[in-house]
Amino acid sequence: MSRGDNLGEKSNVNLPLATVLSRRSLFAVVAALAALLGGLLFERVASAASYADVIESVQPKIVKIYGAGGVQGLEAYQSGFLVSGEGHILTSWSYVLDTDFVSVTLNDGRKFQAEFLGHDPRVEIALLKIDAVELPYFNLDDSVELQGGDRVLAFSNLYGVATGNESASVLHGTVSAASDLAARRGAFETPYHGPVYVLDAMTNNPGAAGGALTNRQGQLAGILGKELRNSLNNTWLNYAIPVASLAQSIDDIRAGKLIPREPDENRAKPIEPVTLAILGITLVPDVLDRTPPFIDRIRPDSPADKAKLRVDDLILFVDDHIASSCKTLRDELSYIDRINIIRFTIQRGQELVDIEVDPSN
Amino acid sequence: MKRFSAGFSFAMTASLLAAFFVQSAPAADVFESVLNAEKQRIAAIAKAKSTAVSVFANGGQGGGSGVVITPDGYALTNYHVAKPAGNTMSCSMPDGVLYDAVIVGIDPTGDVALIKLMGRDDFPCAELGDSDKVRTGDWCFAVGNPFLLATDFQPTVTYGIVSGVHRYQYPAGTLLEYADCLQTDASINPGNSGGPLFNADGQLIGINGRGSFEKRGRVNVGVGYAISINQIKHFMGDLRSGRIVDHATLGATVSTDEEDGKVVVTNISESSDAYRRGLRYGDEITNFGGRAIRTVNEFKNVLGIYPKGWRVPLTFMQEGEKHDVLVRLAGLHAGDELFKKVEPPAAPQPEKKEAPKKDQPEGESPEKDPPKPDDDKTPMPKPDSKKPMPIPLPRVGGPQPIPAHLAQYFKTRPGYTNFYFNELNRDRIWNNFQATGDYSACTGTWRIVGKTIAGTDVEIVLADDKATASMAGGESLVNPNDDLGNQLDPVGSGGLLVALHLWKRMLTIGPQKFGDVYYLGTGPIPAQSELVDILVATVGVVESRFFFDPQSGRMVGLEMYPDLDVDPCEIYFGEFKDVDGRQVPHRLEIRFGNDVFAVLQLSEFDLEMAASK
- What stretch of H or E contains B285? strand B284-288
Contact partners, residue A44, CB within 8 Å, separation at least 6: none
Collapsing DSSP to helix, strand or coil, A77 comes out as strand
- Picking from A3, A59, A105 by the largest number of B CB atoms within 10 A of its own CB, the best residue to mutate is A3
Min Cα separation A168/chain B (Å)? 7
* B161, B260, B301: best to mutate for the A interface, most A CBs within 10 A: B161
Cα separation, A163 vs A310, whole angstroms: 41
Inspect the interface and report whether the beta carbons of A167 and B164 lie closer than 8 Å. Answer: yes
Bridge partners (DSSP) listed for residue B279: none
Phi, psi (degrees; rounded to nearest 5) at B58? -70, 135
Least Cα distance to B53 among B140, B145, B158 occurs for: B145
Best to test chain B binding among A20, A45, A174, A199 (most B CBs inside 10 Å): A45
B392/A55 Cβ within 8 A: no
What pLDDT, on the 0 to 100 scale, is given for residue A229?
82
Q: What is the mean pLDDT of chain B?
A: 85
Catalytic residue among B50, B54, B90, B193, which?
B193
CA distance B318 to chain A (A): 24
Option in A7, A153, A166 nearest B297 (CB): A166
- pLDDT-derived band at B361, boundaries 50, 70, 90: very low
Percent over 90 (pLDDT), chain B: 66
**Spans of chain A, pLDDT less than 70:** 1-48, 182-189, 350
Q: Do B11 and A52 touch (CB under 8 A)?
A: no
Instruction: Kindly state the average pLDDT of the residues B302-329.
Output: 96
Which of A20, A55, A203 is the best mutation test for B, with the most CBs of B within 10 A? A55
- Chain A residues touching residue B389 (CB < 8 angstroms): 7
Give how far B149 is from chain A: nearest CA, Å: 9
- Give the helix/strand (H/E) hosting B353: helix B350-354
In this prediction, residues B574-589 reach a mean pLDDT of 93
Chain A 191-210, residues with CB within 8 Å of chain B CB atoms: 201-203, 205-206
- Which residues, other chains included, contact A170 with Cβ-Cβ below 8 Å and sequence gap of 6+? A55, A153, A154, A155, B136, B137, B161, B163, B164, B185
CB contact under 8 A, B135 and A56: yes
Number of other residues whose CB lies within 10 A of the CB of residue A180 = 14
Is residue A101 less than 8 Å (CB to CB) from chain B? no
Chain B residues with CB inside 8 Å of A216's CB? none
Summarize pLDDT for B273-305 with one digit per residue, the tens.
999 999 999 999 999 999 999 999 999 999 999
Neighbour count for residue A36 (Cβ, 10 Å): 12
Q: Which of A7, A153, A158 sits opposite B217 (nearest CB)?
A: A7
**Inter-chain touch B136–A172, beta carbons under 8 Å:** no
> Would you call the peptide bond into B490 cis, given omega within 30 degrees of 0 as the criterion?
yes
Number of A–B residue contacts, CB under 8 Å: 148
Closest partner residue to B385 among A13, A56, A236, by Cβ? Answer: A13
CA A41 vs CA A38, A144, B7, B150: distances in Å: 6, 9, 9, 46
CA dihedral B457, B463, B466, B470 (to 10 degrees): 0
Closest CA to A94 of A107, A84, A80, A106: A80
Residues 6 or more apart whose CB falls under 8 angstroms from that of B497 comprise B460, B467, B468, B469, B476, B477, B478, B487, B489, B490
Other residues' Cβ atoms within 10 Å of the Cβ of residue B435 = 12
Residues in chain A: 361
CB contact under 8 A, A5 and B7: no
Could you tell me whether strands B248-249 and B330-331 are parallel, antiparallel, or unpaired per DSSP bridges? antiparallel
The pLDDT value given to residue B1: 35
**Which of the given ranges, A226-230, B480-484, B496-500, has the highest pLDDT on average?**
B496-500
Q: Using CA atoms, how far apart are residues A184 and A122, in angstroms rounded to an integer?
A: 18
In B241-326, where does DSSP find H-type helix? 273-276, 296-303
Could you tell me which residues come within 8 angstroms of residue A127 by beta carbon, excluding any fewer than 6 positions away? A83, A88, A89, A90, A91, A117, A118, A119, A250, A253, A254
| Residue (of B558, B521, B518, B508) closest to B538 by Cα position | B518
* B218-264 pLDDT tens trace: 678 899 999 999 999 999 999 999 999 999 999 999 998 877 889 99
* Residue-level pLDDT at A254: 83
- Would residue B429 be called left, alpha or beta, if left means φ above 0 and alpha means ψ between -120 and 50 degrees? alpha
pLDDT of residue B387: 53
Across the interface, whether the CB atoms of B136 and A170 are under 8 A apart is answered: yes
The CA dihedral of B348, B353, B359, B365, to the nearest 10 degrees, is: 0
Could you tell me if B471 and B601 are in contact, meaning their C-beta atoms sit under 8 angstroms apart? no
Least Cα distance to B462 among B449, B444, B436 occurs for B444
Residue B193 designated active-site: yes
* Alpha-carbon span A114 to A126, nearest angstrom: 12
C-alpha torsion A12→A347→A255→A142, nearest 10: 60
* pLDDT mean over B464-484: 87
Binning pLDDT at 50, 70 and 90, where does residue B60 land?
low
Are the CB atoms for B375 and A3 separated by under 8 Å?
A: no
pTM of the model: 0.82
Which of B80, B247, B501, B586 is flagged as catalytic?
Answer: B80
Per-residue pLDDT, A185: 54
* Smallest Cα distance from B371 to chain A, Å: 11
Of A5, A47, A51, which is closest to B137 when you measure between CB atoms? A51
pLDDT in tens, B175-205: 888 999 999 999 999 899 999 999 999 999 9
User: HSE on the CB side for A160, CA within 13 Å?
Assistant: 16
CB-nearest to A2 from B160, B215, B394 is: B394
CA dihedral over B437, B438, B442, B443, signed as positive or negative:
positive
Active site residue B323: no
**Which is more confidently placed, B547 or A335?**
B547
A347 residue type, one letter: Q
Find the mean pLDDT for residues B68-83.
Answer: 96
Count of Cβ atoms closer than 10 Å to residue B444 Cβ: 18
- Residue B396 has its nearest CB partner, among A2, A10, A236, at A2
The CA distance from B296 to the nearest CA of chain A, in Å, is: 9
Q: Which of A4, A165, A202 sits opposite B222 (nearest CB)?
A: A202
- For A236, nearest residue in chain B (alpha carbons): B216
pLDDT at residue A260 in the model: 73
Residue to substitute from B138, B163, B184, B225, interface A, most A β-carbons within 10 A: B163
Quick one: what percent of chain B has pLDDT higher than 70?
84
The answer to which of B105-109, B203-207, B338-342, B585-589 has the lowest mean pLDDT is B338-342
Among candidates A13, A48, A158 on the partner chain, residue whose Cβ is nearest the Cβ of B223: A158
Work out whether strand B284-288 and strand B311-318 pair parallel, antiparallel, or are unpaired. antiparallel
> Three-state SS for B322?
strand
Positions of E strands within B200-277: 204-211, 224-228, 248-249, 252-256, 263-268
The H-or-E segment that residue B156 falls in is: strand B156-169
CB environment B466-481: b (16+ within 10 A), e (fewer): ebbbbbeeeebebebe
Helix (H) or strand (E) holding A52: helix A51-58
CB distance B135–A172 less than 8 Å?
A: no
Q: Is pLDDT of B75 > 50? A: yes
Tell me which chain B residue has its CA closest to the CA of residue A229.
B216
Note the pLDDT of residue B203. Answer: 98
pLDDT band with cut points at 50, 70 and 90 for residue B339: confident
Residue B201, min C-alpha distance to chain A (Å): 15
Residue B333: DSSP 8-state: S
Instruction: Report whether pLDDT(B388) > 50.
Output: yes
Q: Residue A14 and residue B215: Cβ atoms within 8 Å?
A: yes
Burial of B264 (C-beta count, 10 Å sphere; 0-12/13-18/19+): middle
Name the residue of chain A whose CA is nearest to B137's CA. A52
> What whole-number distance in Å separates Cα of residue A55 and Cα of residue B246?
36
Instruction: Give the distance from residue B381's alpha carbon to the nearest chain A alpha carbon, in angstroms.
Output: 11
Average pLDDT over residues B208-217: 76
From A100's Cα to the closest Cα of chain B, the distance in A is: 20
Model pLDDT, residue B89: 92
pLDDT at residue B384 tops 50: no
* In the predicted structure, residue B379 carries a pLDDT above the cut 60: no
Residue B213 has pLDDT above 80, yes or no: no
User: Chain B contacts of A46, Cβ < 8 Å?
Assistant: 14, 31
CA triple A101-A107-A111, angle to 5 deg: 30
Residue type, A357: V
B111 is catalytic: yes
Residue B266 near residue B253 (C-beta atoms within 8 A): yes
Quote the longest CA-to-CA distance of chain B: 93
Could you give the ipTM of this predicted complex?
A: 0.83
What is the predicted pLDDT for the residue at B61? 62
